[in-house]
Amino acid sequence: MTAFWNEADFDDHEMVHFVRDRDSGLTAIIAVHSTHLGPAAGGTRFWHYAEGGDAIRDALRLSRGMSYKNAMADLPAGGGKAVIVADAARTKTPAMLAAFAKAVDGLAGKYVTAQDVGMSEADMVALSQHTSHVAGLPGQGGDPGPYTARGVFLGIEAAARRALGADSLKDVRIAFQGLGSVGGGAARYCAQAGAQLVLADIDADKTKALAEELGGIAVSSDDVLASDVDIVSPNALGAILTEQSIETITAKAIAGGANNQLATGEEGTLLQQRGILYAPDYVINAGGIINVLRHIDGADDAVVNARIDTIPVRLEAIWQEAENSGQAPNQVADRMAKARIGR
């Protein structure tokens, strides 16, 4: 495992906390990027990493992304993220969750956790038995997926207006990579709006079932980015937009809920050069965190949905500034976010 301060993704993080509990087998990393706007908020990811360095990089990148996401969503929260390093069998025990919760509690509110990949609402309830620094509990918004999906759908509509001049999604061809709570939910919204769908997920049965439900076409995850569509919507894991994958994309826009879609960040410029509109991921996928952090200021469903409704407005402001400045949309969004967190 490499030293975190030597990682390219170390961005003057306020704290990187390594957690090891021998009795439960817990290995975890809690990364706090910024508390400039409030407690560092971001979910916990439960994932099997081939190497320890991969876990560090994930925590660093995701926590920085949460700083930017929360800032751009005008939430009174900073950015943090945690990863629990799973074994190959994805073994998760109550003792492991308890040990992790106690580590979170030891940070005295500097980090507030929530759901992410591999962690359920039931896991959040288990964590809450040992720490109060947990968001997204039942009665506090619960599963963030449906709220993220709605924001992604609104962002796709905005991308269609900007890149295609379309005033609706009727007959707009959209390819979805990843059909979980976010991708599947956004695909259903788009189908209701009359879009033509190309669908892919690593679970072939899920892909086939949703394609039959929505009248879409099922393809493999390896082929979906290169589909003959108007918009590509990545909703699985990150780093899928590389120099090589971008060469295969014929769509006019990319708008999806996956975190860290750009492999290095430089791909934003490649997309711009190819005339492909990009919706910065931490702006379009903010619906989930907007919902999860509702308890900070007591927002109800109406307020949460009103905040999600502003996602297209933020995207349009980014795209317009990108057009005016010549910078790529991800660069514009990063600049805006950094200013909001005092960097």
- pLDDT at site 233: 98
Instruction: List helix spans (H) across the chain.
Output: 52-72, 94-105, 121-128, 145-159, 181-192, 204-214, 243-248, 267-273, 281-284, 287-292, 301-308, 311-325, 329-340
- pLDDT at site 5: 67
Q: Is 81 annotated as catalytic? A: yes
- pLDDT at site 223: 93
Per-residue pLDDT band at 298 (split at 50, 70, 90): confident
Domains along the sequence of the chain with CATH: 4-128 (3.40.50.10860), 145-340 (3.40.50.720)
The pLDDT mean for the chain works out to 94
* pLDDT of 111 higher than 80: yes
The tokens describing 202, both together, are 């690593």
- pLDDT at site 130: 98
3-state helix, strand, coil in the chain (%, to 5): 45, 15, 40
pLDDT, mean of residues 310-328: 98
* pLDDT of 2 higher than 60: no
Task: Quote the percentage of the chain above a pLDDT of 70.
Answer: 98
- pLDDT at site 187: 98
Tens digits of residue pLDDT in 180-211:
999 999 999 999 999 999 999 999 999 999 99
* Integer angstrom CA distances of residue 44 from 29, 84, 120, 141: 9, 7, 10, 17
Closest to 20 in 3D by CA, of 77, 100, 88 = 100
3-state SS, residue 128: helix
Name the least confident of 129-143, 190-204, 219-233.
129-143
- pLDDT at site 137: 87
pLDDT, mean of residues 279-297: 91
- pLDDT at site 93: 98
Cβ atoms of residues 330 and 268 within 8 Å: yes
- pLDDT at site 157: 98
List CB contacts of 112: < 8 A, sequence separation 6 or more.
39, 40, 41, 42, 77, 80, 133, 134, 135, 293
Name the least confident of 2-16, 128-142, 164-178, 193-207.
2-16
Distance CA 106, CA 100 (A): 10
3-state SS, residue 41: strand
- pLDDT at site 140: 78
Distance CA 158, CA 126 (A): 38
List CB contacts of 190: < 8 A, sequence separation 6 or more.
153, 156, 169, 172, 174, 197
Q: Which of 81, 92, 110, 252 is catalytic?
A: 81
* Phi, psi of 56, deg, nearest 5: -60, -45
- pLDDT at site 139: 79
Per-residue pLDDT band at 118 (split at 50, 70, 90): very high
Per-residue pLDDT band at 290 (split at 50, 70, 90): very high
Write the DSSP assignment of 131-155 as a string of letters: -S-B-S-TTTT--SHHHHHHHHHHH
Check: pTM over 0.85? Answer yes or no.
Answer: yes
Tens digits of residue pLDDT in 27-66:
999 999 999 999 999 999 999 999 889 999 999 989 999 9
Cβ atoms of residues 279 and 302 within 8 Å: no
- pLDDT at site 250: 97
The tokens describing 287, both together, are 């619906």
Closest to 80 in 3D by CA, of 40, 29, 45 = 40
The tokens describing 217, both together, are 């076409």
* pLDDT of 1 higher than 70: no
